[in-house]
Chain A
Amino acid sequence: MISSFLRDPFWIDIENWPISWEIGGTSWFPFLESIHVIAAAMVVGSILFVDLRLLGLTATRYPITTLSKELIPWSWAAFVIAAITGFGMFITRAASHVVNPAFQWKMGLLALAGINMFYFHHRVYKSIHQWDTLSQTPMQIKIIGCLSLFLWSGVMLAGRWIGHII
């Protein structure tokens, strides 16, 4: 069922949208791509120090809530830009992307990174007052920070790999 969904003519229709042609055939594509890279680097760069703090490796003088409050909005803003520019590139070759293993990995890893983040902010955060200012965080928190680093790096790797397969 998934296979037929991925091969649905709908994806070709997307490629034939006028805007898809416009992006794919002009300097819009490299322009969107360079913005995408900068935004993606910002997503990972701004999350990095939250994750390192969760691991108790750096910035331990600041409470986790402070770092999180000041950095995560940057991650979200950059993510929105990356998502918009990413969508702009996706529609130029939608049918090839959905069957591209690197693209599928990227989406899967992105979903896992999202789940990890959701779990942290909506489950684990309830007990934050117990470890907010501790430099050595509980093991569960360390695992979340570590997972986040690996998942986002994985998103990067899969994302970069898309261009080597298409």
Chain B
Amino acid sequence: MPEFFTSIAGLLEGSFLQSAALWTLRTVPGFPPIIQTVHILGIAVLMGTIVMLNLRVLGLAVRSQELTEMTKRVMPWVWSALASNLISGGFFLFARPYRYFTNPIFGWKMSFLIPAVLLTLVFYWMQKRQAGYWEQDTKHLWSARAIALVSLACWIMVAMAGRWIAYVEYLYYPA
């Protein structure tokens, strides 16, 4: 793992954020599975919104929905789900910073999350500036499809990596 990444853990270790997160996870009955479920429900919302939008661009799903309208409608849900997942994930991150910031799979997760969010932003912004931007001609349509395909792959990898964080030893310390 890059050193700057690991050093974030050093900043969080022993901080107020860590004690607050640990206190909540240990004190509130059932908090760990509840907040994990909130995290997975956030993923579900992303599946129903951004993943569906990508599938729509690829012509694989919800064909009757108009692209500009659909984008405008689902985006608030996308940002809310991302914000919610930042908070729900934050509890675990702050509670055990070294577990995450030294975990290569967590590094992978972030490496897929950043381009996934950036591609979503590009897709959204261009269409916000000009309605129907991605559908104006074949060239734009194919760019949109390329973005959708890469974005789709990234989001799936984010979810996959998220689950594998807990199984890091399967990948890095073969028995």
Contact = CB atoms under 8 A, between A and B. Distances in A.
Tell whether A and B belong to one assembly: yes
B165 to A, nearest CB: 10
B40 A61 contact: no
B110 to A, nearest CB: 17
A163 B47 CA distance: 23
A140 interface: no
Interface stretch (A16-24, A30-38, A110-118, A119-127): A30-38
A59 B74 CA distance: 9
B156 to A, nearest CB: 7
Dominant secondary structure of chain B at its interface with chain A? helix
A161 B35 CA distance: 11
A91 B171 CA distance: 23
Nearest to B161: A34
Interface in B23-54: 30, 32-34, 36-37, 40-41, 43-49, 51-52
Interface residues of A, number: 32
Interface in A39-59: 40-49, 58-59
Nearest to B174: A27
Contacts of A58: 73
Given A37-B159, A42-B47, A61-B69, A157 B37 contact: yes
Contacts, number: 94
Interface string B44-84: 11111101100000000111110001000100000000000
A45 B156 contact: no
B73 A37 contact: no
B47 A44 contact: yes
Nearest to A43: B44
14 contacts: A27-B170, A38-B47, A38-B160, A40-B44, A42-B51, A43-B44, A44-B41, A46-B52, A48-B45, A59-B65, A153-B37, A153-B41, A157-B34, A164-B33
Interface of A: 27, 30, 33-34, 37-38, 40-49, 58-59, 61-62, 66-67, 70-71, 74, 153, 156-157, 160-161, 163-164
Interface of B: 30, 32-34, 36-37, 40-41, 43-49, 51-52, 61-65, 69, 73, 156, 159-160, 162-164, 166-167, 170-171
Given A48-B45, A74-B61, 7 more contacts: A30-B164, A30-B166, A38-B47, A41-B43, A62-B64, A66-B64, A160-B33
